[in-house]
């Protein structure tokens, strides 16, 4: 009788945590896949694949909900476009039961000039402030995999294409994808630096080729600003070159001159 009672007690203690197990395993196990250019059908080399996971939960009766970043991993594709994401069991987090605990994870690709197929809504719909109405699908939804692929960590093929974007759309999209890795603005982690450099190489020449007196809205300017190669220096340079806009927020509807923003992100030179 004692053994039966003990077994029943163990089940009661474990049962509330079991809904987390499949998502936990899928989020933390190693994963692999391939990034492909849909136009050529070939693998995309040297692309930066970002994998990130969060623990989220609903409040119990009242109070805040849970939202914790578990990990952010960035890997590069090889010459054939293949990539491998290592396991992240050291970042394991088991939540207390009763709050609908769950783990969400995403895998996206940062490669300026390309976009993940399915992310189109992120730049097709923007509000009056220049903010996207939708997040890129690849940064917001866990990949839809078969049960076998989920347990094996097989992400299959991530399809990429070359979209036709305006400066506003490109700045917003690539800034959002960059944010998937939750980098500190002045992060010196090599992969974060590489992301800033890739974004800079696309956006800096673009901004600097605009009419210097043309206006950039807040969203576009701040997205470009985030790709500056000198994260610390840009702050003081902005105070010097654009003091009237320092401290202004989105809803102030500030306008930024393309020429000024060009000088800020190029460390004052105006030459990308």
Region 201-226 average pLDDT: 95
Distance CA 88, CA 227 (A): 28
- 40 Cβ partners below 8 Å, 6+ apart? none
Distance CA 142, CA 137 (A): 9
- Please give the pLDDT value at position 14: 39
List pLDDT tens digits, range 66-75.
567 888 999 9
Q: Which DSSP string corresponds to 192-203?
A: HHHHHHHHHHHH
For residue 43, what is the DSSP state?
B
Residue 71 and residue 53 in contact, taking contact as beta carbons nearer than 8 Å:
yes
Percent of the chain with pLDDT over 70: 83
- Please give the pLDDT value at position 180: 92
- Please give the pLDDT value at position 34: 97
- Please give the pLDDT value at position 5: 41
Question: Where exactly are the structural domains of the chain?
Answer: 1-164, 183-272
Residue 107 and residue 51 in contact, taking contact as beta carbons nearer than 8 Å:
yes
- Please give the pLDDT value at position 83: 97
List pLDDT tens digits, range 138-159.
999 988 877 777 777 889 999 9
Residue 116 has pLDDT above 70, yes or no: yes
Q: Residues 112, 202, 235, CA angle at the centre, nearest 5°?
A: 110
User: What does the block give as tokens for 77?
Assistant: 């594709």
List pLDDT tens digits, range 6-50.
443 333 333 344 445 666 777 778 999 999 999 999 999 999 999
List pLDDT tens digits, range 215-236.
999 999 999 999 998 999 999 9
The helix/strand/coil state of 82 is strand
- Please give the pLDDT value at position 260: 95
Region 128-134 average pLDDT: 86
């Amino acid at each position: 009788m004692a053994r039966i009672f003990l077994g029943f007690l163990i089940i009661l203690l474990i049962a509330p945590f079991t809904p987390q197990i499949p998502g936990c395993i899928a989020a933390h196990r190693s994963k692999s896949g391939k990034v492909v250019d849909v136009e050529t059908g070939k693998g995309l080399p040297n692309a930066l694949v970002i994998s990130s996971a969060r623990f989220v939960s609903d409040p119990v009766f009242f109070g805040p909900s849970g939202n914790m970043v578990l990990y952010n991993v960035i890997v590069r594709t090889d010459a054939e476009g293949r990539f491998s994401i290592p396991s992240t069991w050291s970042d394991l987090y088991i939540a207390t039961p009763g709050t609908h605990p769950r783990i969400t994870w995403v895998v996206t690709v940062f490669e300026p000039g390309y976009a993940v197929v399915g992310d189109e809504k992120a730049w097709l719909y923007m509000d009056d402030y220049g903010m996207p109405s939708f997040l890129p699908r690849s940064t917001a939804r866990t990949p839809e995999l078969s049960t076998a692929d989920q347990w094996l960590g097989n992400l299959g093929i991530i399809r990429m294409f070359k979209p036709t974007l305006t400066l506003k759309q490109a700045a917003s999209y690539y800034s959002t994808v960059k944010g998937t890795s939750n980098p500190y603005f002045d992060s010196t982690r090599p992969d974060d630096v590489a992301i800033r450099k890739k974004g800079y190489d696309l956006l800096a020449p673009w901004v600097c080729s605009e009419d210097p007196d043309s206006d950039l809205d807040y969203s576009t300017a701040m997205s470009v600003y985030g790709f500056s190669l000198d994260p610390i220096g840009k702050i003081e340079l902005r105070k010097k070159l654009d003091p009237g806009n320092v401290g202004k927020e989105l809803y102030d509807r500030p306008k930024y001159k393309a020429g000024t923003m060009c000088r800020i992100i190029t460390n004052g030179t105006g030459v990308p």
